[in-house]
A and B are shown apart, each in its own frame.
Chain A
């Protein structure tokens, strides 16, 4: 009978060590493959978007696409100027930021400089719930509840408009803006605060003249990343801002954004291979490039901020 506790020699002889080593190597390879999947996904996104819109950009010069003011891809006299979609997309994102920036900044200052730990631990999960609400529910709320309500106060507000989705979007990205800017503010070293207090500054002076400027690159990153989210948000605008490509600067009117347009075209039954159908990929590519630029800018601002302190 072999001894109950195997010796090192036994382990080598019966192949246990080799087996363990093989399992370790195999798992390391599997793990690497899982991590490398992210690189594959990014590459696949770029390849698919470029490849599928290749046909489109052979027919429509990029300059015409970016500067044209008429977007009528399914008309017999089709026009492919993306400006109407682009303008409403940026308009919605801008209006959403107009709400999210002041509210988010004050909220972040309150959480990082004023609130006690107990208050902060209660408020943060509550704020996160705002982010958790499915976007289609927000869309329903914007169209069926908020718009009829605001029509009583805002003359000329159409039943389908850019304003209400922007307000909802502003509230939606608020938790994100708050959490990124609060992170930045809390990373400001306490020595700066203590020095300022020692000079006789009051709490609000410390918050607005020391902490906020000190955290500025992180806070800016929060704004930019919030903008990126607002640009890419889909269902709220698809439901409440309408699907009519309309070059307007009046947020009381309805106008399709890039995302709403992609949704609208996906709902239709245009066959693959037509020029009109390939627009969902060319507009998608434009959307991807815009959000990528915002994300890269935000990424570097955040990184620079972390390096400073």
Chain B
């Protein structure tokens, strides 16, 4: 700035001042960039410390006994059998409920909805639901499913609760995936005489599949770590049994009795062990944390990989 205001500077002095200003600016640029890198390193450092600490404390505890035992009063006898079985069954229920509903809702908003107050209302609601704290979903489930519909504290209720929780994630990712499909696909299908639903079912949904899948996986990875809504429906209990198996040896060979059974899940088990004073339980908590982290990181890795593949194929 000094260069501009002092017009009577000699040429050499002006050049020197300009060079000085540029060097200063370059130096500030380096500082800003360094700040960005330092913050990144700090955040990643924290994440690595967390993972490292869990691994050091918990990895040694994970063995066959730990994976095949029920919770126990003695930490060295305790295990996470009922927790991981419960987590898998709850995730299954969540996925079966949330993915179809979310995809159909996204399809409606993107392809069918006319611009009127109803679709506006729905859009605002989806945006708002994405920001509602998870524990509020737990209170909703407690009031509506447990007391209102008298469904009890079952796997079905947990699946429905988490399904509602991840619904906005599935809807938003479905809409983004549909929006990125080139118009030609639709026009060609209509040109061949397909009706609207045929276009959706045979062309739009398959073309949007990778994007939908990414959203669904991210949603499930969030649901698998959710603790608060499940505590709120009252599921923190001592579970030393497994739900009845889904496959039976008599007709009709498939049983849904497990949906109505009590359960526990991995994050609940971990919370239970963290809040006890004994060191042995803290080690069990760390081991459960390792299992949880492996599951969530694997799911997220999958989502990142699909997104990466998708982006490459779009570019080509």
- A: residues with CB less than 8 A from B are 20-21, 23-24, 27-28, 30-32, 34-39, 41-42, 44-45, 48-49, 51-52, 103, 106-107, 109-111, 114-115, 123, 125-130, 132-141, 143-145, 171, 174, 202-205, 207, 225, 228-229, 231-235, 238-239, 259, 262-263, 266-267, 272, 280-281, 284, 287-288, 291-292, 294-296, 298-299
* Distance in Å: Cβ of A304 to nearest Cβ of chain B: 15
Check if A20 sits within 8 Å of B47, measured CB to CB: no
Instruction: Assess A137 versus B139: contact at CB under 8 Å? Given A41-B164, A234-B134.
Output: no
Q: Please, how many angstroms separate the alpha-carbon atoms of A52 and B146 in the complex?
A: 13
Interchain residue pairs with CB less than 8 A apart (13): A20-B198, A41-B129, A125-B304, A132-B297, A229-B133, A238-B228, A239-B271, A239-B274, A239-B275, A262-B135, A262-B138, A284-B136, A299-B127
Q: Please, how many angstroms separate the alpha-carbon atoms of A129 and B22 in the complex?
A: 38
Cβ-based interface call for B128 (8 A): yes
Give B139's nearest chain A residue, CB to CB: A284
Determine which of A20, A128, A136 lies in contact with B271 in the assembled complex, contact meaning CB atoms within 8 Å: A136
Question: Which of chain B's residues have a CB closer than 8 A to the CB of A281?
Answer: 139, 143
* Distance in Å: Cβ of A300 to nearest Cβ of chain B: 11
Instruction: Tell me the residues in window 28-59 of chain B with beta carbons closer than 8 Å to chain A beta carbons.
Output: 28-29, 32-33, 35-37, 39-40, 42-44, 46-47, 49-50, 53-54
Per-residue interface assignment for chain B, residues 130 to 173, with 1 indicating a CB less than 8 Å from any chain A CB and 0 otherwise: 01111111111011100110000000000000001001100100
Candidate in A31, A107, A125, A141 with the most chain B CB atoms within 10 angstroms: A31
Check if A129 sits within 8 Å of B297, measured CB to CB: yes
Interface residues on B, range: 35 or more
Majority SS of interface residues in chain A? helix
Check if A202 sits within 8 Å of B25, measured CB to CB: yes
Cβ-based interface call for B82 (8 A): no
Check if B105 sits within 8 Å of A110, measured CB to CB: no
Instruction: Tell me the residues in window 71-110 of chain B with beta carbons closer than 8 Å to chain A beta carbons.
Output: 100-102, 104-105, 107-109
Give B36's nearest chain A residue, CB to CB: A110
Check if A145 sits within 8 Å of B136, measured CB to CB: no
Q: Please, how many angstroms separate the alpha-carbon atoms of A51 and B122 in the complex?
A: 23
Question: Which of chain A's residues have a CB closer than 8 A to the CB of B274?
Answer: 136, 139-140, 143-144, 239
Check if B105 sits within 8 Å of A31, measured CB to CB: yes
Instruction: Tell me the residues in window 271-303 of chain B with beta carbons closer than 8 Å to chain A beta carbons.
Output: 271, 274-275, 282, 285-286, 289, 292-293, 296-297, 300
Majority SS of interface residues in chain B? helix
Check if A44 sits within 8 Å of B133, measured CB to CB: no
Determine which of B29, B132, B135 lies in contact with A204 in the assembled complex, contact meaning CB atoms within 8 Å: B29
Determine which of B40, B132, B198 lies in contact with A45 in the assembled complex, contact meaning CB atoms within 8 Å: B132
Q: Please, how many angstroms separate the alpha-carbon atoms of A34 and B26 in the complex?
A: 54
Cβ-based interface call for B126 (8 A): yes
Q: Which A-B residue pairs are the 10 nearest by beta carbons? A: A232-B133, A134-B225, A110-B36, A202-B25, A48-B143, A31-B108, A234-B228, A34-B105, A34-B104, A295-B131
- B: residues with CB less than 8 A from A are 22, 25-26, 28-29, 32-33, 35-37, 39-40, 42-44, 46-47, 49-50, 53-54, 100-102, 104-105, 107-109, 112-113, 119, 121-122, 124-129, 131-140, 142-144, 147-148, 164, 167-168, 171, 195-198, 200, 218, 221-222, 224-228, 231-234, 236, 267, 270-271, 274-275, 282, 285-286, 289, 292-293, 296-297, 300, 304
Q: Please, how many angstroms separate the alpha-carbon atoms of A110 and B76 in the complex?
A: 48
Give A208's nearest chain B residue, CB to CB: B32
Question: Which of chain B's residues have a CB closer than 8 A to the CB of A262?
Answer: 135, 138-139, 232
Check if A109 sits within 8 Å of B227, measured CB to CB: no
Determine which of B29, B197, B234 lies in contact with A203 in the assembled complex, contact meaning CB atoms within 8 Å: B29
Check if A272 sits within 8 Å of B32, measured CB to CB: no
Question: Which of chain A's residues have a CB closer than 8 A to the CB of B112?
Answer: 28, 31-32
Give A202's nearest chain B residue, CB to CB: B25
Determine which of A35, A38, A52, A171 lies in contact with B113 in the assembled complex, contact meaning CB atoms within 8 Å: A35
